[in-house]
Amino acid sequence: MDAGMSDTDSVVFTDHTFDDLDIEREILAEADAELIDAEARDDPLETILADADPDGIIVMYADVDADLLDAMSDCRVVSRTGIGFDNVDLDAATERGVYVTNVPDYCIPEVSTHTIAHLLALERKIVDYNGRIKAGNWDVTAGRAMHRLRGQTLGLIAFGDIAQAVAEKASAFGMDAVAHDPYLDPSDVADTDVTLVDDLSTLLAESDAVSIHSPLTPQTEGMIGADELATMKKSAFLLNTARGGIVDEDALADAIRTGEIAGAGLDVLESEPPADDSPLLDLDDVILTPHAAYNSAESVVELRTKAARNVAQTLAGDVPDYLVNEAVLD
């Protein structure tokens, strides 16, 4: 930190994809905090953090582990710009009295719409038809048969805010929805048209499309593998706008290649971007988007605003609105 700035809190934005940080600077300035853009500096992140010893950090993709936290003796908050926080060691932060925050509600309209877009593109063969026409093949009968959505069953793995929005949009197409969420009971969905099922295998077997909305945790990592895919209908699609590590991608590629399921729409992958030899890249019945489901001009502004406010609230001595590790308050 520069001389004369000792009475001013500092916040490091570790990594981001934005053209500028005007939104964050304005919000943090109201809290008398200086924002340091690590992306604009040539030094390694560890060096920047050691020099600044920040009172808080805002993080997009960078891993925040125990060693990184120990390098910041004054850090009070790690603000994740997104819904997931699997790149932050939650236990290590809690042990050190550091708040971890996220922004769980900024892109519900976008992600739910993107999920439905993947389903529509797969069921109506939009990408396949487009490619065939541009290759000179005008043939309405090309490829697998299409089916109407009305009367189909959409299976939702986890039933949080985004999944609920997906179910509502799917109902407009006449789809029925079932959900598996071990943290809910039937009374929690009593005011919806969604039916809870007790086990994942039942959901997989009954659904014409399966949409994943669970966080990536040790319990959900690799949750959809060869056995689970074999349980699905041969005509079913798998949709994932949650986290890539939930799906075994080699098993998914094999299942699509051998016709165990009809295809997949994936916005997230285990490795982003995928390796050149990823088996998913060569499959016509896989539609990929680059972790873009959250993206709209409006959602990005909301994300940045709320992530910065989480930090400003902490620096002001308040509990931030979107505290993840509530155990830190004990």
CB atoms within 10 A of CB 64: 23
How far is 250 from 8, CA to CA, in rounded Å?
Answer: 50
Decide if 150 is catalytic: no
How far is 198 from 294, CA to CA, in rounded Å?
Answer: 30
Contact partners, residue 24, CB within 8 Å, separation at least 6: 11, 13, 35, 58, 304, 307, 308
Q: Which residue, 98, 40, 42, is CA-closest to 69?
A: 98
Q: At what angle do helices 297-315 and 22-29 cross, to 10 degrees?
A: 30
How far is 1 from 214, CA to CA, in rounded Å?
Answer: 40
Out of 16, 180, 243, 304, which one is annotated catalytic? 243
Q: Which residue, 113, 33, 44, 110, is CA-closest to 75?
A: 33
DSSP per-residue letters across 196-223: E-SSHHHHHHH-SEEEE-----TTTTT-
Q: Which residue, 240, 234, 184, is CA-closest to 210?
A: 240
Out of 46, 272, 298, 326, which one is annotated catalytic? 272
How far is 301 from 30, CA to CA, in rounded Å?
Answer: 18
Out of 80, 180, 291, 304, which one is annotated catalytic? 291
Decide if 291 is catalytic: yes
Residues with active-site annotation? 243, 272, 291
